[in-house]
Chains A and B, each alone.
Chain A
Amino acid sequence: MSARGAPGGGRDPSQPRSPGEGWTFLSYMIGGMALYGFLGWLAARWTGWPVLFPVGMLVGLGSAIALIIFRVTRS
């Protein structure tokens, strides 16, 4: 986490975050839901418990939010 906010150094907290970082968060949300949603859907078809599909999506959403929190608190 160096070059993102301020060129060539640590992120300057007074500077706004880079727009790229916002899009990264969006891609976490999409990616988490799509990936775990898909796994949940597969598991639901395999086991015959349809509830696993929404559960998978929620797990994905939770992971995405966790990723964002870790990333924000680190920098």
Chain B
Amino acid sequence: MSDVSVMTTASGCHLFSGCGYPAPSIADFYFKPIFTVGGIAITKPVVLAVLAGAIILIFFYVAFRKPKLVPRGTQNLGELGVLFVRDQIMRQQLGKKGDKYLPFIVAIFFFVWIMNVFSLIPLIQFPATSKIAFPAGLALVVWVTYITIGMRAKGPIGYFKQMAVPEGAPWWILPLLSPVELFSNILVRPFTLAIRLFANMLSGHLLLLVFGLASWYLLSLSIGLLFAATSFLLTIILTGLEVLITALQAFIFATLTSFYIADATETSH
């Protein structure tokens, strides 16, 4: 929870106590710097992103440090994760020839997922991906990756031609359609990739804040107790929904990454 929400819950604002509902706002997504390194302020989301990276590094290092033919313990779990990404995400789009991109997609999927899941972990309770910088940075990495792969597969001109010439369209309509195809492939893709993840995590966190704060605000020895109980129940239900959404958004992000790579490498056109 951010500084603002801590203040509102600590202030003891309740129904009928004269102060209004302290509605959560975009201010809840801004944090005071924890410390500063060379002029760069390190805030909670930055720490969370680094933590997510560290968790993945350590987990997969421990899991595959001494791989055995018959996996046990952590290796079992790690293989489950990698195989899930391979069979459910990567191979759905790329087929077997995409196996060389598997490490990239596994990393993307788990990084996004862990950053999303921080939204639900007690005391952390903030999805790093609800700050646009992280989805935007990830989308930029994906964008550079699929463009590089496409150019290496077909050469700069061949790839540009594929990006600009829509398949199946007759030649006389190309002047009208090519700009849309090019615009959609080069600019809209990375933007929608980033904004889909960012907006989903932001609204989910905001929703939990609304009902979490409301259960505290409505808590009083009056009819408010009933409202507070309803609000609390909704907080629990929405937390369940968020569990689903954190995984789903990571899944979509990784699926689209694989799809863009597949689109850049596909040969017949």
Minimum CB–CB distance from B2 to chain A (whole Å) comes to 32
A4 in contact with B262 (CB, 8 Å)? yes
**A interface, CB within 8 angstroms of B:** 1-4, 6-8, 18-21, 23-24, 26-28, 30-32, 34-36, 59-60, 63-64, 66-67, 70-71, 73-74
**B113 located at the interface, meaning its Cβ lies under 8 Å from any Cβ of chain A in the complex:** no
B180 in contact with A70 (CB, 8 Å)? no
B268 in contact with A67 (CB, 8 Å)? no
**Docked complex Cα distance between A4 and B219 (Å):** 54
A20 in contact with B259 (CB, 8 Å)? yes
The 4 A-B pairs with the shortest beta carbon distances in the complex, nearest first, are A7-B95, A20-B259, A74-B168, A31-B184
**Docked complex Cα distance between A31 and B187 (Å):** 8
- Residues of B within 8 Å of A18, CB to CB, are 92-93, 259
Interface size band for B: 35 or more
A20 in contact with B256 (CB, 8 Å)? yes
- Residues of A within 8 Å of B188, CB to CB, are 27, 30-31, 34
**B169 located at the interface, meaning its Cβ lies under 8 Å from any Cβ of chain A in the complex:** yes
A35 in contact with B177 (CB, 8 Å)? no
**B118 located at the interface, meaning its Cβ lies under 8 Å from any Cβ of chain A in the complex:** no
B168 in contact with A20 (CB, 8 Å)? no
A60 nearest in chain B by CB position: B180
B255 in contact with A20 (CB, 8 Å)? yes
**B252 located at the interface, meaning its Cβ lies under 8 Å from any Cβ of chain A in the complex:** yes
Minimum CB–CB distance from A24 to chain B (whole Å) comes to 8
Name A70's contact: one of B168, B179, B185, B252 (CB within 8 Å): B168
**B131 located at the interface, meaning its Cβ lies under 8 Å from any Cβ of chain A in the complex:** no
**Docked complex Cα distance between A24 and B255 (Å):** 12
Minimum CB–CB distance from A68 to chain B (whole Å) comes to 10
- Residues of A within 8 Å of B183, CB to CB, are 31-32, 34-35
- Residues of A within 8 Å of B268, CB to CB, are 1-2
Binary contact readout B148-189 vs A (1 if CB under 8 angstroms, 0 otherwise): 000000000000000000111100010011011101110111
Given known A31-B188, A71-B166, contact A1–B177 (CB-CB < 8 A): no
**Docked complex Cα distance between A8 and B166 (Å):** 22
Interface residues of B in 28-72 (CB under 8 A from A): none
B95 in contact with A30 (CB, 8 Å)? no
12 residue pairs bridging A and B, Cβ less than 8 Å apart: A1-B268, A3-B97, A4-B262, A7-B94, A20-B263, A27-B188, A31-B188, A32-B183, A32-B184, A36-B180, A63-B176, A66-B173
